[in-house]
Amino acid sequence: MQIKPSCCAEKPVISLTAGEKLCKNHFIQYFESKVFKTIRQFELLEKEENIGVAVSGGKDSLTVLSILKKLSVENPKIKISAIAIDEGIAGYRDKSLETAKEFCEKNDVALHVFSYKEEFGLTLDEMLKILNVKPCSICGVFRRYLLNKKSRELKFTKLVTGHNLDDECQSIVMNQFRNDMAASARLGPRAGLIDDKLFIPRIKPLYLCTEKEVTTYAFINKLLDNFNECPNAVHSHRAQVRDMLNDFEQKNSGTKYSIVNSFLETLPSLREKYKNAVIKVCSRCHEPSSNDVCSACNYVEKLRLSVRV
């Protein structure tokens, strides 16, 4: 087996997928230039933007916020704010939101927080006691709904998310397993299929960064001091796919890059195929929807009826 050299005499902090070992300073340089290259390669930002970064207080969102904050200091025409959703998951989201608030205060970033309790009347924990549904299904619907609606009200030109290469890889494989290629057509570093003023464009600057790289960057830059996972995540389909892909990656290094790179080759034809998807306006809340009533309003109605019974 060929032993890959380290970058310099300093102690390495990471071994990359290709085997190269990097010290702290070389890794930070490598990681940040990879993110900026992704932004250029996929034309994620214009010269002038009013960006909202979706923050959860986890490693991915704090990493992308920290790098974009540096970019905005160098380019005053790129304005940055943060937006967070408090789902109401006791013992988890309260702690991660504290981390997000501390980071934003320290780095002079405006933070806008919206909660399920205020917007829908119940926390996620309360909703899950009423409805027998998969936590991530209902949580994902309400979060996407609020992020898009509030980003539009805040007049963000783009919504940045902290999705990394591992997240994207899992989504691609999950959609294959469900035979849902229309959902895959909405993936990619510039997510979404339809340009419509009701939708705020979503971009993923960490698209080509592995979870291991993001975790390393977050910890060596002291963006957070512990790793906290949502208690509902363990039951999700995504967690099963994640474990399977991690196992594959461990035995066949580079598997995740191969999945995402081959997906990027097929993405233009997928988008072409699904480009005529019709977007309606929900008859109740007037937010974008693929049906007459959107998924969020359907869940709100189910909760209302269940509480009444």
Where along the sequence are the contacts to ligand SF4 (CB under 6 A)? 87, 135-136, 139-140, 230, 232-233, 236
Q: How far is the CB of 209 from ligand SF4 (least distance, A)?
A: 20
Nearer CB in complex with ligand SF4: 121/231: 231
Contact 75, 46 (CB under 8 A): no
Q: How far is the CB of 244 from ligand SF4 (least distance, A)?
A: 17
Tokens read off for 46? 């214009």
Greatest alpha-carbon span in the chain: 69
Q: How far is the CB of 190 from ligand SF4 (least distance, A)?
A: 22
Nearer CB in complex with ligand SF4: 123/232: 232
Q: How far is the CB of 171 from ligand SF4 (least distance, A)?
A: 13
Cα distance between residue 77 and residue 72, in whole Å: 7
Looking at the DSSP assignment, which residues form a beta bridge with residue 6? 21
Nearer CB in complex with ligand SF4: 171/236: 236
What are the b/e assignments for 267-288, b being 16+ CB within 10 Å?
Answer: beebbeebeeeeeeebeeeebb
Q: How far is the CB of 137 from ligand SF4 (least distance, A)?
A: 8
Counting beta carbons within 10 angstroms of the beta carbon of residue 99, is it exposed (0 to 12), middle (13 to 18) or buried (19 or more)?
A: buried
Nearer CB in complex with ligand SF4: 69/93: 93
Nearer CB in complex with ligand SF4: 140/201: 140
* Torsion sign, CA atoms 101, 104, 107, 108: negative
